[in-house]
């Protein structure tokens, strides 16, 4: 069976970009694959030092995974820090990763400008490689922003395999045709991110209807006269981003929407989009709050998931120990 690994950092409230780029696909993927859905709490320490809210964020993220249809009976749902092998493998892989390779990672370059550039941020892609390789993953669903990290993972895996025999499967990405990248509402040339300090840039999955409407209404769009609704990311990034979100959530081709919206004012289009999003979110939120109030259940899911994940992580580690011959 094909093994799929995917993770999200609990670095803030999940956004519609996390949904479109990842979560929305997970329940379908788990129907035919063996899936590992991880909550990457160690990764999020690279930017989020608020350890007091981390536990809450992990529980929030887990409840949202379940609300989005992740089924813990089918998939292994677990928290990264519960399986110590992730860090152990990270150290090993870091000894086979070059400084130059990590320096070229665009996410590091971007994030190190905004956050203090700690060593964790620099090593982030190696921990991601450990997450993926530990479970001998075949496929990794990712957004366009993560392609470079996956390419590095593949190179590290091939490097170790060339030295020590077939230690790891070399994973390939699953990149969804639609919605590869969702952009910020106020600055549509920048990606939408859950840890963006300007909350007007993101639509959160737990957003209330009135704030959602306000955010969409004041999202940045061009000043074409008369206003025209069509996809042209280079010249009309704001409208193109909104059109993309509309298209994905309604499963309608952009070309069809462009025809439907001939002559429609931006403010009317934005209202329609806000309705589409709020319909989607109201269903998710209902389910989310049901899971979120039962912490005992959430803890049991995380514990069982970690027990299952650990067994597989340990079998990969055994393989490594046989070739590296630790004492």
**Positive or negative torsion for Cα 15, 20, 21, 24:** positive
Check whether 223 is labelled as a binding-site residue. Answer: no
In the window 252-311, what residues touch ligand AQP (CB under 6 A)? none
Check whether 156 is labelled as a binding-site residue. Answer: no
Residues in the chain: 327
User: 146, 172, 144, 147: which is closest to 157 by C-alpha?
Assistant: 172
| 21 near ligand AQP, judged by CB under 6 A | yes
The pattern of x and - marking residues 41 through 80 that bind ligand AQP according to CB under 6 A reads: ------x---------------------------------
| 11 near ligand AQP, judged by CB under 6 A | yes
User: H or E stretch including 236?
Assistant: none
Asked if 320 and 167 count as a contact pair (C-beta separation under 8 A), the reply is yes
Asked if 189 and 233 count as a contact pair (C-beta separation under 8 A), the reply is no
Check whether 191 is labelled as a binding-site residue. Answer: yes
**Residue with structure tokens 């956050």?**
115
| 213 near ligand AQP, judged by CB under 6 A | no
Beta bridge partner(s), residue 76: 36
The pattern of x and - marking residues 75 through 114 that bind ligand AQP according to CB under 6 A reads: ----------------------------------------
Asked if 35 and 74 count as a contact pair (C-beta separation under 8 A), the reply is yes
**What gap in Å lies between CA 244 and CA 188, rounded to an integer?**
12
4, 5, 13, 22: which one binds ligand AQP (CB under 6 A): 22
Check whether 144 is labelled as a binding-site residue. Answer: yes
Check whether 138 is labelled as a binding-site residue. Answer: no
Kindly tell me which of 20 and 167 has the beta carbon lying closer to ligand AQP: 20
User: Angle, nearest 10°, between helix axes 295-324 and 85-94?
Assistant: 40
* Listed ranges 1-9, 93-101, 243-251, 259-267: which one lies at the site for ligand AQP (CB under 6 A): 1-9
Q: Which residues are catalytic?
A: 111, 191, 194
**What gap in Å lies between CA 85 and CA 136, rounded to an integer?**
13
**Which residues lie near ligand AQP (CB under 6 A)?**
7-9, 11, 15, 17-18, 20-22, 40, 47, 142-143, 145-146, 181-182, 191-195
Binding residues for ATP: 9-11, 143-145, 182, 191-195
């Amino acid at each position: 069976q094909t093994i799929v690994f995917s993770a999200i950092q609990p670095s803030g409230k999940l956004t519609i970009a996390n949904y479109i780029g990842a979560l929305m696909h997970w329940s379908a993927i788990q129907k035919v694959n063996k899936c590992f859905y991880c909550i990457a709490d160690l990764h999020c320490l690279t930017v989020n030092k608020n350890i007091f809210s981390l536990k809450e964020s992990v529980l929030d993220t887990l409840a949202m995974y379940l609300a989005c249809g992740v089924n813990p009976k089918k998939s292994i749902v677990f928290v990264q820090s519960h399986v110590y092998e992730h860090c152990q493998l990270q150290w090993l892989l870091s000894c086979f990763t070059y400084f130059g390779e990590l320096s070229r990672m665009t996410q590091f370059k971007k994030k190190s400008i905004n956050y203090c550039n700690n060593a964790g941020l620099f090593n982030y892609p190696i921990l991601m490689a450990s997450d993926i390789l530990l479970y001998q993953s075949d496929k990794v669903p990712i957004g366009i922003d993560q392609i470079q990290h996956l390419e590095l993972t593949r190179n590290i895996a091939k490097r170790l395999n060339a030295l020590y025999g077939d230690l790891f499967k070399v994973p390939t990405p699953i990149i969804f045709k639609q919605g590869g990248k969702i952009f910020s509402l106020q600055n549509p040339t920048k990606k939408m991110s859950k840890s963006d300090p300007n909350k007007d840039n993101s639509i959160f999955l737990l957003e209330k209807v009135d704030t959602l409407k306000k955010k969409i209404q004041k999202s940045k769009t061009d000043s074409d006269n008369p206003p025209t609704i069509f996809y042209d990311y280079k010249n009309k990034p704001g409208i193109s981003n909104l059109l993309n979100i509309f298209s994905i959530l309604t499963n309608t081709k952009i070309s069809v929407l462009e025809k439907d919206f001939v002559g429609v004012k931006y403010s009317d289009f934005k209202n329609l989009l806000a309705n589409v999003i709020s319909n989607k979110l109201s269903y998710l939120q209902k389910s989310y709050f049901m899971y979120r109030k039962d912490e005992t259940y959430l803890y049991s899911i995380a514990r069982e998931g970690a027990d299952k994940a650990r067994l597989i992580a340990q079998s990969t580690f055994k393989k490594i120990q046989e070739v590296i011959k630790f004492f």
